[in-house]
């Protein structure tokens, strides 16, 4: 049963990450995703100090605010300060991340935050956090329910806002000209990325979540020239990395999240070689 819950958790992390990651790849904003996944740390720690639970609305709100703030600061430095965007990203997220580290070392004595767990996740603990109702019914691990809810939100967002995300990603100027606010959709997308990051860090960690955002989407990008197919394929590759990675890490007796990320990399390498072969053939 534990195996089932762990693999399900992995898939529930992989699905929304792959979907949002596809748009990050196409917008050439993968590094902003990386920045957000690090910069939510101070938000998580601060909220955790107030309510010591990882799936409380406050933690999500704290991380969401940090994510949008990160996006805003990156834009602000690169547009108002005329700093190259990559430099702006580097300055912003390392700074916010280090504030998170200071906060955590200053306050972890007072709370039960495990920094390792925040950075690298511990998916094996998920099946232990059972949600048992007052009448004593076991509903399974609560993080799975929470991730399920996140999936519902992200999948509906991607389906409902397909037109808006497509046009603002492909041709920002044209979108603005016909009255679709490119800025609003940019911040909405980045807000969703923060939301998914914070929902995922407990199982895969704030550092490795970037791999779930970028690798399945990049693998899918190599294989198709159709946005809808790319979104579907990225989800398939995400799920394949989660499932394959679990067994890989079991076999190697290593960290589960690292196994999933490694599996994603292996799939990418295989697809890369095949797609090169297909193009030259």
In the chain, count of helices (H) and strands (E)? 11, 2
Shortest distance in whole angstroms from residue 126 CB to other proteins: 34
For other proteins, the closer of residues 60 and 231 by Cβ is 231
Rounded Cα–Cα distance for residues 52 and 39 (Å): 19
Nearer to other proteins, 131 or 166 (CB): 166
Residues contacting 58, CB < 8 A, separation 6+ = 47, 50, 51
Shortest gap between Cβ of 98 and other proteins (angstroms)? 31
- φ/ψ of 54, rounded to 5, equals -75, -25
Nearer to other proteins by Cβ, of 4 and 174: the residue is 174
Whichever of 15 and 217 has its CB closer to other proteins, that residue is 217
Binding stretches for other proteins (CB under 8 A) = 26, 82, 160-161, 163-164, 166-167, 169-171, 173-180, 221, 224-227, 229-230
Least separation in angstroms between residue 158's CB and other proteins is 12
Question: Under a CB-based contact definition with an 8 Å cutoff, are residues 177 and 203 in contact?
Answer: no
Strands (E), the chain: 130-132, 138-141
Q: Yes or no: say if 223 and 69 are a contact pair by the CB < 8 Å rule.
A: no
Least distance (Å) from other proteins to the CB of residue 81? 11
């Amino acid at each position: 049963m534990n195996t089932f819950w762990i693999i399900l958790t992995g898939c529930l992390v992989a699905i929304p990450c792959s979907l949002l990651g596809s748009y990050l790849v196409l917008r050439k904003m993968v590094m902003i995703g990386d920045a957000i996944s690090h910069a939510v740390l101070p938000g998580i720690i601060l909220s955790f100090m107030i309510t010591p639970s990882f799936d409380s609305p406050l933690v999500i709100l704290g991380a969401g605010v940090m994510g949008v703030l990160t996006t805003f600061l990156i834009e602000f430095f690169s547009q108002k300060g005329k700093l190259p965007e990559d430099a702006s990203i580097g300055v912003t997220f390392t700074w916010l991340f280090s504030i998170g580290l200071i906060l955590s070392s200053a306050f972890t004595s007072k709370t039960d935050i495990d920094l390792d767990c925040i950075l690298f996740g511990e998916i094996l603990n998920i099946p232990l956090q059972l949600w048992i109702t007052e009448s004593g019914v076991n509903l399974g691990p609560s993080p799975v329910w929470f991730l399920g809810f996140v999936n519902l939100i992200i999948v509906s967002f991607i389906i409902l806002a397909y037109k808006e995300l497509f046009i603002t990603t492909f041709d920002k100027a044209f979108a603005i000209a016909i009255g679709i606010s490119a800025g609003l959709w940019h911040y909405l997308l980045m807000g969703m990325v923060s939301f998914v990051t914070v929902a995922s860090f407990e199982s895969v960690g704030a550092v490795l979540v970037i791999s779930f955002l970028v690798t399945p989407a990049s693998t899918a990008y190599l294989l198709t020239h159709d946005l809808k197919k790319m979104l579907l394929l990225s989800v398939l590759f995400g799920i394949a990395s989660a499932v394959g990675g679990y067994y890989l890490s079991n076999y190697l007796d290593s960290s589960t999240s690292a196994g999933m990320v490694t599996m994603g990399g292996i799939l990418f390498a295989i697809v890369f070689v095949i797609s090169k072969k297909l193009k030259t053939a």
